[in-house]
Amino acid sequence: MEFFAIADKPATAETLQARLDVASLASWCASISQVFSHDGDTGEIFCVWGQFIVHRERIRGGVRFTLPKCPNGFAWTVTTGFPPAPDKVVIHCTINRREHDSGFIATIEKFADDWRRGLSILL
């Protein structure tokens, strides 16, 4: 399943890559309440679903974050320069399931929206 949110802010890929790091995740997204540790592009966070290892990767257009031990294979990207909104910042979240319970889906939608709000305020 995939989920989208769009922050109505102009940005460059370089800006996103420079500013969105593991150490600052809790500042950008209210669904991430704490960063326990960070070492470059790897760290450990506490988020709406519990405590997870997180990895960060620079990708074309921005950054991708993954929770490699998440049972749903949760990942999200924060990019610019591509559809559906090439002049804005797109948050794209995915899980490795075709269906899931409505409560869990609601938390993913809120997670994406929390990123939208954080980017809209802090970028």
Q: Is the pTM of this model over 0.85?
A: yes
* Position 100 pLDDT exceeds 80: no
Q: Average the pLDDT over 63-87 and give the result.
A: 95
- The residue behind tokens 């470059």 is 40
In terms of phi and psi (left: phi > 0; alpha: psi -120 to 50; beta: otherwise), the region of 61 is left
- The percent of residues above 70 in pLDDT, for the chain, comes to 100
**Amino acid 98: pLDDT:** 80
Nearest Cα to Cα of residue 22 among 39, 5, 8, 3: 39
Q: What residues are paired with 91 via a beta bridge?
A: 5, 78
Q: Which residues pair with 96 in a beta bridge?
A: none
